[in-house]
Structure 1
Amino acid sequence: MSLRRPLLAAAFLTAALLPGAPGAAEPGVEAMVGHRAAYRLTLDRARDNSDIARAEGVMLYEVVDACDGWATRQRFQLTLTDRDGTDVETTSDYSTYETKDGRSIRFSLTQTSQGAVSQRVAGDAEVTPEGGTVRYTEPSTKQEALPGGTLLPMLHTIRTLAAARANQRLLVVPLFDGTSADGAQDTTTVLQAWQPPQANERFPALASLGSARMRVAFFDRTPSATGGGASAPDYEVGLRYYENGVADELKMEFGEFSVDGRMQELAVLPNPC
């Protein structure tokens, strides 16, 4: 089983909805914070015809403000138990370095199943107004063209939060995050209303911040693809993002089952810049 990474450092209608191509003065960059967060993963539901009886695991996520870019790392471990009581453990280790102008990214993903490597993806990408290019070194050496309007993960997050604050309800844009060996995917994001700050005894650092809930669907691109929504999504994730880029609640849809992720620990990192 291949589990796509949950969209955390990901951050969506097209660039016409949110003006501004990737650039050094991208609004919202200054609001994002470096942080470390730990999440507990549990089974939300399984389809009636699914063999999944239980799911539990952990996810550790870190984003570091490196002044001219964002360095992220996400480690994910999930154990699935079938109805016969057999356990299957899947892990992933995913890291990126994305420049703050949203124009380049280095990425690396290693997934294992039962201790054996099941997938490796690595390389770098450059984004231009016309699209850009991905250069893979794993699983094989090759290049892929990116479609026009492609966003990288942190810029995707920034644009999404800006859309929520502007009372937008729908965004559609290609996203490249380095988790697939097939280039960019189309994404469709449905945004709920922006929420004002609320009391937060568990995580006081979030108490003064607004937030928005959203649901992001990923679609595999085809040669005639013009945007997400034409077919069933490959993967979906629901989350609540705070205005500083911290997500405290996740719901990951993997098709035959879904997993809840709840933040258990949060450390906001000092800004070194």
Structure 2
Amino acid sequence: MDSKNHKKGKSKSLIIVVAIVAVALLAWLGYTQAQNFVAAKISGDNKGQVELRSHKAIYDLELHSVTSGTKLINLDGQMYFSWEKQCAGWASDHRFNLLYEYADTPGVRVTSDFSTFEDEDNSKFSFSSVRKKDGVAYENIKGHADKSEDGAAAFFKSPEGLEIDLGADILFPSEHTRMMLENARQGKKFFTATVFDGSDAKGPSVINGFISDANALSRPRDVSFELADRISGSPLLNVKSYLIRLAFFPIAQDNAEPEYEMTVRLYENGVISEMFIEYNDFSVIQKLTALEEIQEQNCGSENE
């Protein structure tokens, strides 16, 4: 694989959300950070907060464009994502199965299983991921992060002994999503934060977000993002959505240019229906193809 054209960038998830966001996105190329953004969850118990809904979804991913000289000629696959509100916090699971095809080398099948848990007050965060190439594991990430008034730090079991000082202003994915959506609801257009999602051992990223409630953001005009009838009628999509442009700057790399950018359609309940991811050498489209709500746990005391 040509390392210049195919960087193992920050995945994170995500988002998102989320969320993300989110991506992170591609297990091989660094996408979980975005999906964690998309997928990140927040409590809806407090007045004024949006209520993100437990759900599971399937997305199709496909190559949209490549620049001249890029050896990647095709990319396609699926991502399964689930987020579930549990009694102590929020659990998410992201599974990728992607095929990369190249002009002059054999294709590569990459799979990834990335899971996280964030407690309800956003102070403790655990993460675990296993990535495989043609069935052989090449990366194993596992650890937890803690945040207090004195700052935050991440502690890794794999790589063993690794510790990263996250600083005082770090956000975990759910808190980042909550603040992004709060800014969107207030009509604000920009939100920048430093986020740690545990998708790799490089540490946090600065994420710059531009928020729009229209269709003015950069999206490929030659692609239809219209949802199938079986999905478009879902009650989960019967809420306000925003187009959000995200740029990712890993702190460890200290680059003036973002490692990658993406545009996502994020609903106020945490569902994402479309994503357009742009790297230096190629771009990828992610479309929602299946969506189902997950019934949340009953966390009340039997004695109450």
Normalising by the smaller structure, the TM-score range is 0.7 to 0.9
Q: Does 1:216 align with 2:246?
A: yes
Q: How many pairs align? A: 256
Q: Which residue does 1:95 correspond to in 2?
A: 115
Q: Does 1:178 align with 2:198?
A: yes
For the 8 Å contact 2:228–2:289, the answer to whether it is kept is no
Q: Distance in 2 between matches of 1:231 and 1:242?
A: 30
Q: Distance in 1 between matches of 2:190 and 2:235?
A: 28
The alpha-carbon distance between structure 1 residues 187 and 181, as it changes in their structure 2 partners (threshold 3 A), is: same
Structure 2: stretches of 5+ with no match in the other structure: 1-5, 21-41, 216-226, 299-304
Deviates more, 1:106-115 or 1:59-68: 106-115
* 35, 54, 76: which one aligns with 2:74: 54
Q: Which residue does 1:16 correspond to in 2?
A: none
- Deviation of 1:83 after TM superposition, in Å, equals 2.0
Match runs of 1:100-115 below 5 Å: 100-115=120-135
The alpha-carbon distance between structure 1 residues 29 and 96, as it changes in their structure 2 partners (threshold 3 A), is: farther
Q: Distance in 1 between matches of 2:74 and 2:47?
A: 42
* 205, 212, 219: which one aligns with 1:192: 212
* 111, 117, 124: which one aligns with 2:144: 124
- Structure 1 segments (4+ residues) deviating >6 Å: 22-28
For the 8 Å contact 1:41–1:59, the answer to whether it is kept is yes
Q: Which residue does 1:17 correspond to in 2?
A: none
> Could you list the per-position Cα deviations for residues 163-209 of structure 1 after superposition, in whole angstroms to 9, with x for gaps in the alignment?
111111111111000012122111111111379xxx99433213430
> Could you list the per-position Cα deviations for residues 123-152 of structure 1 after superposition, in whole angstroms to 9, with x for gaps in the alignment?
000123443111111122121111222111
- Deviation of 1:263 after TM superposition, in Å, equals 0.5
- Deviation of 1:89 after TM superposition, in Å, equals 1.5
TM-score, normalised with respect to structure 1: 0.84
Percent identity, aligned pairs only, is 26
SS in 2 for 1:105: strand
Q: Distance in 1 between matches of 2:256 and 2:172?
A: 23
The alpha-carbon distance between structure 1 residues 194 and 269, as it changes in their structure 2 partners (threshold 3 A), is: farther
* 31, 48, 52: which one aligns with 2:51: 31
- Deviation of 1:117 after TM superposition, in Å, equals 1.6
Q: Which residue does 1:138 correspond to in 2?
A: 158
Deviates more, 1:32-41 or 1:163-172: 163-172
* 259, 264, 268: which one aligns with 1:234: 259
> Could you list the per-position Cα deviations for residues 55-79 of structure 1 after superposition, in whole angstroms to 9, with x for gaps in the alignment?
1000000001102200000001211
Letter of the 1:260 counterpart = I
The alpha-carbon distance between structure 1 residues 200 and 26, as it changes in their structure 2 partners (threshold 3 A), is: farther
Structure 1: stretches of 5+ with no match in the other structure: 12-21
Q: Distance in 2 between matches of 1:44 and 1:237?
A: 13
Q: Which residue does 2:103 correspond to in 1?
A: 83
The alpha-carbon distance between structure 1 residues 254 and 112, as it changes in their structure 2 partners (threshold 3 A), is: farther
For the 8 Å contact 2:189–2:210, the answer to whether it is kept is yes
- Deviation of 1:235 after TM superposition, in Å, equals 3.0
Q: Distance in 1 between matches of 2:89 and 2:272?
A: 20
The alpha-carbon distance between structure 1 residues 222 and 53, as it changes in their structure 2 partners (threshold 3 A), is: closer
> Could you list the per-position Cα deviations for residues 95-129 of structure 1 after superposition, in whole angstroms to 9, with x for gaps in the alignment?
00101211111100111122222211110001234
Q: Distance in 2 between matches of 1:124 and 1:99?
A: 11
Q: Distance in 2 between matches of 1:23 and 1:206?
A: 17
TM-score, normalised with respect to structure 2: 0.76
- Deviation of 1:28 after TM superposition, in Å, equals 6.3
SS in 1 for 2:179: helix
* 280, 288, 303: which one aligns with 1:255: 280
The alpha-carbon distance between structure 1 residues 107 and 75, as it changes in their structure 2 partners (threshold 3 A), is: same
For the 8 Å contact 1:167–1:194, the answer to whether it is kept is no
> Could you list the per-position Cα deviations for residues 144-163 of structure 1 after superposition, in whole angstroms to 9, with x for gaps in the alignment?
11122211112211211111
Letter of the 2:240 counterpart = G
Aligned CA RMSD, in angstroms, stands at 2.7
Q: Does 1:264 align with 2:289?
A: yes
- Deviation of 1:25 after TM superposition, in Å, equals 7.4
For the 8 Å contact 2:154–2:166, the answer to whether it is kept is yes
- Asked which structure has the greater RCO (Cα within 8 Å, sep 6+), the reply is 1
- Deviation of 1:49 after TM superposition, in Å, equals 2.0
